[in-house]
Amino acid sequence: MNAISEACKRARDEWKPELIIEQIPYAQLLGIETLMMGDELFYVLPPSKGNVGNPTLPALHGGAIGGFLEFAASLHLMMTLPTQVAPRVVDISVDYVRPGRLEPLYALCTVVRQGRKLVNVSVNCWHKSREESVATARAHFLVD
């Protein structure tokens, strides 16, 4: 069993998604965190000058937002499905609705459909209000 598989199992058993984040260098580079509120698991992209794409606004880089959404969906599946490996992205589509400001960005993932091998996940992210989306994503993953 590799390090991610072990972290995945341990993270689910102890309900500590940060154990998976610690194993993924890109997640650490972006600074991704999680937040549990009630029975909902939120994903957080804290403000970081390294994630800025337009310094005059300043606005988050679209790639940082897209990477955050993709990782949040993947982490969500690792935390909620009994898989021992990271899900593989088949495709992802991101709709950018508003500029991402240099403040915390929150995301919530929803499994739309789960088949035997393919899972469809919807992700919405926002700054202060869920009703004011910064971006949304639809992603398909292969799972074992």
Give the count of domains, the chain. Answer: 1
pLDDT at 16: 93
pLDDT at 1: 57
- In the three-class reduction of DSSP (H, G, I as helix; E, B as strand; rest coil), residue 29 is classed as helix
Q: Which of 142, 86, 84, 78 is nearest to 114 (CA)?
A: 142
Alpha carbons 6 and 20: distance in angstroms, whole number:
9
Alpha carbons 31 and 59: distance in angstroms, whole number:
16
pLDDT at 60: 96
pLDDT at 144: 79
Which structural domain, as residue segments, surrounds residue 85?
A: 3-142
CATH assignment at residue 35: 3.10.129.10
pLDDT at 7: 84
Q: Using 70 as the pLDDT threshold, list the residues of the chain that sit under it.
A: 1
